[in-house]
């Protein structure tokens, strides 16, 4: 599991995440899987297109939820610092972010960041 993690709100639409590589590894880390989800955003389609699924209507708007792969540096060490910035988020909204390392065996255990709230545009 990645370690030494921080999550910072940088403005009304931006969150920055930092982490170090895992201390214990069974094989070389290939990438990190970063996911985010808005916990209190409306699902009424007012900010982006929706798609119908067998479980209901879900938003395809990246401000509500998404995932990203962050490639690992070849031969990185546990002290290697990684940073990712999530932009185009909803202002004044709560976000849950998770991070997991992936290797040749698949994606490992997720780290759950504390919930953060983006700022109002005037702050």
Residues 6+ apart with CB under 8 A from 5: 17, 18, 19, 20, 99, 111, 113
Domains and CATH numbers, the chain: 3-117 (2.60.40.10)
DSSP 36-67: EEESS---SSSSS-EEEETTEEEE--TTTEEE
10-residue averages of pLDDT along the chain (123 residues): 84 93 81 93 55 41 78 81 91 94 91 93 71
Q: What is the pLDDT of residues 109-121, one digit of tens each?
A: 999 999 999 998 8
Q: What is the pLDDT of residue 48?
A: 42
The answer to whether 33 and 100 are in contact (CB under 8 A) is yes
The answer to whether 67 and 33 are in contact (CB under 8 A) is yes
Q: What is the pLDDT of residue 3?
A: 72
Q: What is the pLDDT of residue 62?
A: 56
The counts of H helices and E strands in the chain are 0, 11
Q: What is the pLDDT of residue 63?
A: 66
Q: What is the pLDDT of residue 44?
A: 57
């Amino acid at each position: 599991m990645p370690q030494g993690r921080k999550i910072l709100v940088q403005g009304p639409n931006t969150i920055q995440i930092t982490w170090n590589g895992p201390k214990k590894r069974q094989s070389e880390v290939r990438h990190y899987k970063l996911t985010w989800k808005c916990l209190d955003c409306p699902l009424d389609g007012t900010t982006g297109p929706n798609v119908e699924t067998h479980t209901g209507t879900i938003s395809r708007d990246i401000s509500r939820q998404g995932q990203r792969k962050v490639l690992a540096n070849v031969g990185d060490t546990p002290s290697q610092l990684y940073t990712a910035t999530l932009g185009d988020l909803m202002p004044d909204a709560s976000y849950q972010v998770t991070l997991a390392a992936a290797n040749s065996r698949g994606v490992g255990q997720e780290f759950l960041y504390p919930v953060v709230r983006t700022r109002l545009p005037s702050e």
